[in-house]
Amino acid sequence: MRTGIAGLLVVSLALAATVSRVGAQTPTPDSSPLVMAIETMLVERPHARDEAWRTLAQPRLPRRTPDPDDPERTLVTFAWRGGPQTRSVRLDSVVNAAHARQPVTDYIADFTLPLRRVEGADIWTLTLSLPRDVEAVYSFLVEDDSGLRRWSDPANPARLGGADGESLLRLDRAAPADIHRPLAFDEVIEAQQLDIDSAALGRRVRTQVHRMPGAPDDAPLLILYDAFLWGQRAPASDLLVRLAERSAIPSTHLVLIDQLDAASAGHAYADQAVFIADELLPALAREVGLAPRRETTLLAGASRRGLSASLTALARPDRIGGVISLSGSFYWAPDGEAPQWAARQLGDAPVDAPRFHLAAGRLETVATSTNQGHVMLDTNTAMTDALLAHGYPAELAVYPGGHDIAGWRNALAEGLVVLLGER
């Protein structure tokens, strides 16, 4: 499984053992002309290691050069400068998808890619040919005498939010990034903490309410799972302000839910529908004074949260008018059921059916022990087809990325414009 955000997170000894085992694999020689030139320099001048690193790292990493074999792709060189104790370096990013050993049963061994040490220097490199519209986050797993640690790229200033934000790769044809530009300090929408003692979930749920200044009580409302993901790493409140500034959507209130309960899987996520419809929305009216209209109340989330959001809207179309599901885990099924259970639960759409905007990444084609070969792109396509067949308004957006926040934030913006912009 993924180990969380990039930074100085120490990975477990078991993980370190895995990397030690796969570190013996010999990566293929780096075919980047830039790397080959550096290797030639070091053969001629073995002591020019600092110069070699400066040549590689400036103006910044990762380095990009045209792919001579395909004008629609770019050669991207990732690089890490280690030390005498560095034993291995691996790239962790969704851009590895085309090179994954499938099915992925050991994430580190099968999905992350080894960088190769440049002969005569403590420089490690890996060059991949990537489509020019890709945007993705990445980090490095570095093993040395102290163990295994995850690092963002110190030579790349582009990072996500948060103290340990992952590094960001954007190629020249990626979606414009201006809508993700952070707000100035005095423009930030302060969150109001709203705690709800949920009988449905059996715990106190912590939510953050971002009420947009000047917006009426019945303005559109976006309810979004995962307050850490959308509050720190890619602040959704900033995105809503940017979209409203350009009149792409009306001013929209935001509620961030702390997390999706793991135990909800045992209830086929029906408890989440009760929480959203019968506890959260009444609390917003009672405690905050919001009065959203059903047709502009949106529920959204990524991965398993996208699945849960969809099931909630199907169960409670009287309260939810639209869903934005980002890489929804529609391969999932309750214990004892066949995969893709949600699509088989659909009945005919009601008159006022919620609208579904599903998004999946072009790189989400990796079979894992979790999805059992029912890959994200295929299962999201199948769910969209099933919704349409039962009369639900639905569309699938395929974005040029994978299962990460870089692709999801662009897909969220597109979904908001689709569901709210026309209003």
User: Which pLDDT tens digit goes with each residue over 72-82?
Assistant: 999 999 999 99
**Which phi and psi (to 5°) does residue 368 adopt?**
-130, 170
pLDDT at 423: 55
**Contacting residues for 278 by C-beta, under 8 A, at least 6 apart:** 200
Reported as a pLDDT band with limits 50, 70 and 90, residue 10 is: very low
Q: In this structure, which topology does domain 178-421 adopt according to CATH?
A: Rossmann fold (3.40.50)
For range 229-249, the mean pLDDT: 96
Q: In whole numbers, what is the pLDDT of the chain averaged over residues?
A: 91
For 206, counting Cβ atoms within 10 Å of its Cβ (0-12 exposed, 13-18 middle, 19+ buried), the class is: middle
CA–CA separation, 373 and 291 (whole Å): 43
pLDDT at 120: 87
Q: Is the previous residue joined to 103 through a cis bond, with omega within 30 degrees of 0?
A: yes
One-letter amino acid for residue 310 of the chain: S
Reported as a pLDDT band with limits 50, 70 and 90, residue 117 is: very high
pLDDT at 325: 98
Task: Indicate the DSSP class of residue 181.
Answer: P
Query: Within the chain, which residue ranges are assigned CATH 3.40.50.1820?
Result: 178-421
For range 169-173, the mean pLDDT: 97
pLDDT at 4: 33
DSSP reduced 3-state for 113: strand
- Of the ranges 3-12, 156-165, 225-234, which is most confident? 225-234
Query: Within the chain, which residue ranges are assigned CATH 2.60.40.10?
Result: 9-170
Give the pLDDT confidence of 366-397 residue by residue, as tens digits. 999 999 999 999 999 999 999 999 999 999 99
pLDDT at 404: 96
Q: Is the pLDDT of residue 361 over 60?
A: yes
CA angle 85, 155, 12 (to 5 degrees): 45
Give the pLDDT confidence of 183-202 residue by residue, as tens digits. 998 898 999 999 999 999 99
Q: Is the pLDDT of residue 284 over 50?
A: yes
pLDDT at 409: 97
Give the pLDDT confidence of 307-333 residue by residue, as tens digits. 999 999 999 999 999 999 999 999 999
Q: Is the pLDDT of residue 173 over 60?
A: yes
Q: What percent of the chain has a predicted confidence (pLDDT) above 70?
A: 92
Please give the residue that has the higher pLDDT: either 38 or 423. 38
Q: Is the pLDDT of residue 9 over 50?
A: no
For range 48-71, the mean pLDDT: 94
Q: Is the pLDDT of residue 161 over 60?
A: yes
Q: Is the pLDDT of residue 20 over 60?
A: no
Strands in 106-243 per DSSP E: 113-114, 116-117, 123-131, 135-144, 147-151, 167-170, 192-198, 203-210, 221-225
For range 103-116, the mean pLDDT: 96
Give the pLDDT confidence of 126-158 residue by residue, as tens digits. 999 999 999 999 999 999 999 999 999 999 999
CATH code reported for the domain at 9-170: 2.60.40.10
Q: What is the pTM of this model?
A: 0.91
pLDDT at 30: 73
